[in-house]
Amino acid sequence: MEAKTLFDKIWDAHVVSEIEGGPSAIYIDCHLIHEVTSPQAFAGLEKRGAKIHRPDKTFATPDHNVPTENQHLPIKDALSKFQVDKLTENCEKHGVTLYGLNHPYQGVVHVVGPQLGLTQPGMTIVCGDSHTSTHGAFGAIAFGIGTSEVEMVLASQCIMQPKPKKMRITVNGELGAGVTSKDLVLYIIAKVTAGGGTGYFIEYAGTAFKNLSMEGRMTVCNMSIEMGARGGLIAPDQTTFDYVKGREKAPQGADFDKAVEEWKKLTTDDGAVFDKELEFDAADIEPMITYGTNPGMGTKIKSSIPALSEIEVSEQESFQKSMNYMGFSDGDALVGKPIDFVFVGSCTNGRIEDLREVANYVKGKQKADNITAWIVPGSKQVEKQAQDEGLVEVLEAAGFELRQPGCSACLAMNDDKIPAGKYAVSTSNRNFEGRQGPGSRTLLASPLTAAAVAVAGKIVDPREIVNA
Amino acid sequence: MALEKFEKINSSAVPVATENVDTDQIIPARFLKATTREGFGENLFRDWRYDANGNEIPEFPLNNKKYSGTILVAGKNFGCGSSREHAAWAVHDYGFKVVVSSFFADIFRNNCLNNGVLPVQISVAFAEKVFAAIAADPNAQFEADLVAQTFTISSTGESTSFDISPYKKECLQNGYDDIDYLISLKDKIGEYEAQA
């Protein structure tokens, strides 16, 4: 029998129809929608006079554009309110399950799916959001789509997709103390570059990933798109099965045991061929931070911004543009640079382990006076758990402002904006120009680093304080 | 939904040479609050076109009167980042029918194709020639020929070919979209669901 990759096994099992030299119609097991990229798809569907083919396989929650304060009150921003209301209306009309604002399951769509057990190994999962790659942590093919594709899934539960190329990134060894899954993925992106994964679907393999919790794996897979890859996935194992077990939408009892037997087959066969293979050593990875305006512009916190002469000639102009935007100079040291805002949250790092990590670090400490620190749980369930575990008191005592679940300052569609010219160390996924508000300057880092920066008021290596 | 049929475009071009232009630059998130597909063109490249007070930034190519046309020539890795189709809608709504780059992000490329905008991927070397031709003459004409799959600098006749899947080519030429095709697969989808 032909040796297959994990990706091939899942893909092949979902091909409904193939077009010679063209894309395949791929069946989608789980479709997640939110308020910003779905309204035009519903409108398109209605214009065609078509119905949702499988309303039972689409799940909705508002997240991108919701306020993170006073969620019990009507939304003030008229356009945001219109989008959120439209989602409710569309779901009611078409029979789609909605976890609306104030529902105990509402939250960032990529936090909600895994939490409810909607995300399971071997599935195909899509959402009109590029960070759908998060769900690949479970050994699923999960990727972001455009709104026309959302309409395809609504109309047919299928999507037209060309088969991507396959890349395997292997990292063996153990991450050092103070080095987290976020540092691991920022390190990989810095090596591969912001466009180096384009055209590929990535499998992450090796002990560095196997040793991560499910939440750590989600952080890694989440940022696959920041290399341009459609998605990334990790073969499911006992850690995965233990996480899924008992969740509301997961198979229960004997069905679960049967499912696990199938899920155990979801590994890459020995001898399967990838179009590209990369290998890194976990021992080389340190706490990371970005200094530029794409996630590939990252480096070890303790090092400096590259000198202009180290940048390829063809890329120097874009590099210089980026430095001008950030207010940095090539060759600058990063440690010691003053920071204004710290944002902990998003589909990358808004889960309970992230909140625990920050709370554990700041316990008994105070944020620096020059820092505004926002912490936004990824979902209502994360929020509740943080309350139950006493994390909220710890965070508030340290001067963090706890907000309500949503995408918040990751993309600043709502009022959570970093002011122009200000520096934010953010646990989110993108440091693009203006991403966190017009003129905002974003430095991506781990929750641990964000906590250390909040306390120090400037960029620090979290290990030095940890070890002190 | 029928799209405009696409065959061949002859036009001058607007150059935006910056590399790694993400979809947050093409259409910032704060302009995603609409529930229709129209009207995004006015905010295309919003924060590069206008300063914080809403005044035009004259040196940005879209504001520079010497550039015009329905072809956008972009830097490497154009359209990376967010999957927002609003970026493709903004490009289309502004009036571009062709986007040329030495490298496109996947989702943006798909989104363009689904909206009747032709992504033309050419070599880095040919892209340099295209930028040079525009620098020499802002009115330089180009031809994007979908049928022949060629992109030509009209003044010199220098031409290069580009890839597109035969399926997507047929869709663009005839104004078909994927959804019509998928709905036509209903029986096959039913069979798949029955055995899954």
pLDDT along chain A (468 residues), means of 10: 95 95 94 97 95 97 96 94 97 98 97 98 98 98 97 97 96 97 98 96 98 98 97 98 98 98 98 98 98 98 97 92 98 98 98 98 97 98 98 98 97 96 98 97 98 98 72
Which residue in this structure is represented by tokens 């029986």? B187
> Does the beta-carbon distance from B166 to A152 stay under 8 Å?
no
pLDDT at residue A468, rounded to an integer: 41
Nearest to B105 among A128, A160, A228 (CB): A228
* Radius of gyration of the CA atoms of chain A, in A: 21
Could you say which DSSP state residue A128 is in?
Answer: S
Residue A139: CA atoms inside 13 Å, Cβ hemisphere, count? 26
Distance CA A219, CA A221 (A): 6
Q: How many CA atoms lie within 13 A of A311 on its CB side?
A: 21
> pLDDT at position A154, please?
98
Please give the angle made by the CA atoms of A93, A16 and A274, to the nearest 5 degrees: 120
Of A378, A349, A381, residue with least CA distance to A109: A378
- Cβ–Cβ < 8 Å for A172, A206: yes
A contact residues 408-447, partner B, Cβ 8 Å cutoff: 411-413, 420, 430, 432-435, 438-439
**Residue A409 C-alpha from the chain's centroid:** 14
Q: Are A218 and A184 a contacting pair, CB within 8 Å?
A: no
Nearest CA-CA distance, residue B135 and chain A, Å: 16
Q: Do A432 and B24 touch (CB under 8 A)?
A: yes
Residue B40 near residue B26, CB atoms below 8 Å: no
Classify B94 in phi/psi space as left (phi over 0), alpha (psi -120 to 50) or beta: alpha
**Chain-chain contact of A48 with B1 (C-beta, under 8 angstroms):** yes
Residue A465 has a pLDDT of 66
**Cβ atoms of residues A413 and A438 within 8 Å:** no
Q: What's the token pair of residue B116?
A: 């009747």
Position B78: which residue type? F
Does the beta carbon of A23 lie under 8 angstroms from any beta carbon of chain B? yes
- pTM metric for this prediction: 0.96
Note whether A315 contacts B115, CB cutoff 8 Å.
Answer: no
The angle at the Cα of A433, spanning A427 to A439, to the nearest 5 degrees, equals 100
Strands A200-205 and A165-172: parallel
Residues 276-315, chain A, touching B (beta carbon < 8 A): 294, 296, 314-315
**Residue A341: helix, strand or coil by DSSP?**
strand
- Tell me the sheet residues that pair with A375: A344, A402
Please count the residues of chain B: 196
Which pLDDT does position B196 carry in this prediction? 79
DSSP run (H or E) holding A26: strand A24-27
> Which of B118, B120, B111, B117 is CA-nearest to residue B87?
B111
Chain B nearest C-alpha distance from A176 (Å): 30
A401-402 and A372-375 beta bridge pairing: parallel
Is there a contact between A38 and A152 (Cβ–Cβ < 8 Å)? no
Q: What pLDDT does A466 receive?
A: 52
Give chain B's residues under pLDDT 50.
Answer: none
Give the 3-state secondary structure of residue A399: coil
Kindly determine whether residue A22 and residue B165, on different chains, have CB atoms separated by under 8 Å. yes
The answer to whether A55 faces chain B, any CB pair under 8 Å, is no
Whether residue A22 contacts residue B167, with contact meaning beta carbons closer than 8 Å, is answered with yes
